[in-house]
């Protein structure tokens, strides 16, 4: 796994084999960040990474200068790896050890960008866009992107506005319920 761009672009990060996560592939990350680079000013946003896994998406944001990153993950081994990696690069990643659904229900924060990379077999995967929307977690100009496989389709969701496929990895893009018309 490598950091694709920004200050630490090209640096390799090797998660331990025992982490129960499926890191986003470098090809999919590169495609995603080619889109995001044209729409985001990383230095000005507050970012939330749900189902942080190996931390690869948060590292990309941090490498590009994002100053405020919150990552939610439940697995202790993953958290240890993410904290060690963030410290070694001096990345501003605040890691919360909690269940994503509990976090969504309890937080009162708003974010400019939210990324969710849930396990593809997660029973409640379909609920995530509705929960993010109903809890008002996005700022009016904010984006929520969820990584999923072809077994899920969000094209009819009221906040859906774009989809990108990278093999078996799909990114569905959603906007805020408070988005300007």
Predicted local confidence at residue 69, as pLDDT:
98
Reading the chain (181 residues) residue by residue, the pLDDT tens digits are 899 999 999 999 988 888 878 788 889 999 999 999 999 999 999 999 999 999 999 999 999 999 999 999 999 999 999 999 999 999 999 999 999 999 999 999 999 999 999 988 788 999 999 999 999 999 999 999 999 999 999 999 999 999 999 988 999 999 987 766 6
Q: Is residue 102 part of a domain?
A: yes
Q: Is residue 44 part of a domain?
A: yes
The kind and range of the H/E element at 24 are: none
Domain, as residue range, for 160: 26-175
Predicted local confidence at residue 181, as pLDDT:
62
Predicted local confidence at residue 20, as pLDDT:
79
Predicted local confidence at residue 26, as pLDDT:
86
Q: Is residue 4 part of a domain?
A: no
Token pair recorded at residue 174: 């959603």
Please report the sign of the dihedral spanned by the C-alpha atoms of residue 41, residue 96, residue 126, residue 1: positive
Q: Is residue 10 part of a domain?
A: no
Which stretches does DSSP call E strand in the chain? 46-50, 68-73, 93-97, 111-116, 138-148, 160-166, 169-175
Number of domains in the chain: 1
Q: Is residue 8 part of a domain?
A: no
Q: Is residue 12 part of a domain?
A: no
Q: Which domain CATH number covers 48?
A: 3.40.50.150
- The whole-angstrom separation of Cα 158 and Cα 175 is 9
* DSSP states of 48-86: EEES-TT-HHHHHHHHTT--EEEEEE--HHHHHHHHHHH
Q: Is residue 115 part of a domain?
A: yes
């Amino acid at each position: 796994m490598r950091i694709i761009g920004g200050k630490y672009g090209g640096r390799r990060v090797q998660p331990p084999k025992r982490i129960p996560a499926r890191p986003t592939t470098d090809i999919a990350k590169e495609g995603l960040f080619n889109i995001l680079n044209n729409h985001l000013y990383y230095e000005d946003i507050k970012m939330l990474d749900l189902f942080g896994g190996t931390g690869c998406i948060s590292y990309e944001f941090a490498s590009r200068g994002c100053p405020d990153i919150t990552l939610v993950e439940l697995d202790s081994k993953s958290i240890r790896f993410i904290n060690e990696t963030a410290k070694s690069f001096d990345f501003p990643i605040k890691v919360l050890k909690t269940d994503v659904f509990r976090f969504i229900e309890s937080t009162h924060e708003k974010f400019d960008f939210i990324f969710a990379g849930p396990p593809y077999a997660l029973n409640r995967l379909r609920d995530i866009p509705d929960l993010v929307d109903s809890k008002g977690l996005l700022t009016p100009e904010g984006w929520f992107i969820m990584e999923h496989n072809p077994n899920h389709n969000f094209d009819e969701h009221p906040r859906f506005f774009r989809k990108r496929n990278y093999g078996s990895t799909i990114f569905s893009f959603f906007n805020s319920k408070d988005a300007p018309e």
